[in-house]
Each structure stands twice: as structure tokens, then as C-alpha cells.
Amino acid sequence: MDDLRQTIARLRGPGGCPWDQEQTHASLVRCLIDEVSELIDTIDRLDLPHMREELGDVLIQVVFHAQLAEEAGHFNLEDVAREVNEKLIRRHPHVFGENKLGTSDEVLVQWEQIKAQEKKAGPDKSAALFKDQPPRLPALMFAEAIWKQIEKRQLPVPASVDRAQVAALGRQLDEAALGKMLFEIAAACRAKGLDPEAALRLHTLKVMRDVEAKHQAAATA
């Protein structure tokens, strides 16, 4: 681990690699998604030799992000490891304490109870209009989840979103037509040099902000 940390620091440092020196937390997101996807593929195939390799590629991403944070004076890899280790101990009192449990179902119930207590001790999110989504969902899943909340709660949508047009488009689509449309959009993005994941995520976040603003304006009117 120390050798890997030193290698990443060397790549980032003076006389290092121009590509590595240019990277930011944001620019590395796509790399992280790609590496995790490749790891999942080896797990699905039970390809253990390649799984070891792909775990290493994911580990590079963790060390790289920690290096960027350390350079900016925020935290380092030791801080990351220490915090997650403390969380594991805190969430397993049946192992590291005296509260013994006999089944995995009991463990899961206790895990959620401890997690809920930790959230209560954190920032108050009770007034949030949108419930939290799993961090860094793929942009397409993220957009779908946000639209589901908008529909379910009949939230006011901004002018950039036409409910009738969305419904009409949905009536025209089937799985094959949708797949073709999404593939062509991805291909067009590639030709134009655009990142479809980033574009959709940013637009979805903008829709969320606009919906929250309209909701707030209606509530105070």
C-alpha cells in the first residue's frame, strides 16, 4: 500500500505524468465507474485472476482521490481507512461488544437502527423535497428516480419539462425503440466529444433545483 501511495504521489508530483497531473475528483468519476463495472464483470464470471487485477484498478481510484484530497489539505488515505474502520466496529457491536446476535436478519435490523441513529446525529435533512438517492447512481437511473418522485408527489415541474410531451413520448416507446434511441444518443455524444453521463446528471440536478424553487415559491405565495 505504501508503494502504491508513493507511485500515485510521484505521478502527480513535479516531473510526473502530465495526464495524472491534470486530473480532478470530477474528471476521475468516469474512470471510477468504468473500473467498478469491469470488476463487477469479473465477479459475475467468477474470474478470480482478473478479479485481482480489477480490484487493483479500483484501488488505484481510491488512492488517487485520497492523494488529491491530501494535496488540497482535506484528508489522506489513512483518514479514509480510519473512518471506515471505526464505522465497521461501531456497526458491529455484536462482534466487538457484548450484544450478541444469532442470525443475519438480526444483524441487518441492528445495522439499520445504528445507521438511523448516525443520520439523526448528522445534518437535518427532514425538510428536503427530494429524498436522498444512492450516491453517484448512474445518470440514467438517477434521472429516472428523480422523475419518479416528481410524478409520485405531483411536484410542480419547470418550464423545461413538458409532462404531456413526456407522456406522449412514453406511449411511442417500446424496449427496442428505446434501446435504439439511447444508443444513437450515446454515439452522437461520442462524435461530438460530449459526456452523456455528466450532461444528464447536470440536467437532472438543474431540474431538481428548479422544482425546489417552484415548490418554495408556491409555499410562500
Mean pLDDT by 10 residues, the chain (221 residues): 97 97 93 90 94 97 98 97 94 85 85 80 64 71 89 86 90 94 96 93 92 87 73
Task: Output the pLDDT for position 219.
Answer: 82
35: number of Cβ within 10 Å: 19
**193 phi-psi bin (left φ>0, alpha ψ -120 to 50, beta other):** left
Q: Please state whether the predicted TM-score (pTM) of the whole model is above 0.85.
A: no
Task: Output the pLDDT for position 221.
Answer: 73
- Domain(s) labelled CATH 1.10.287.1080 in the chain stretch across 2-75
**Which stretches within 45-102 are classed as H helix?**
48-71, 77-90, 93-96
- Give exposure, 48-63, as e/b (b: 16+ Cβ within 10 Å): eeebeebeeeeebbeb
Task: Output the pLDDT for position 122.
Answer: 63
Q: Which CATH code, of 3.80.30.20, 1.10.10.10, 1.25.40.10, 1.10.287.1080, is assigned to 2-75? A: 1.10.287.1080
How far apart, in whole angstroms, are the C-alpha atoms of residue 25 and residue 7?
A: 18
Of the candidates 30, 14, 24, 4, the residue with the CA atom closest to the CA atom of residue 68 = 24
Task: Output the pLDDT for position 118.
Answer: 82
Task: Output the pLDDT for position 200.
Answer: 94
Amino acid at 157: V
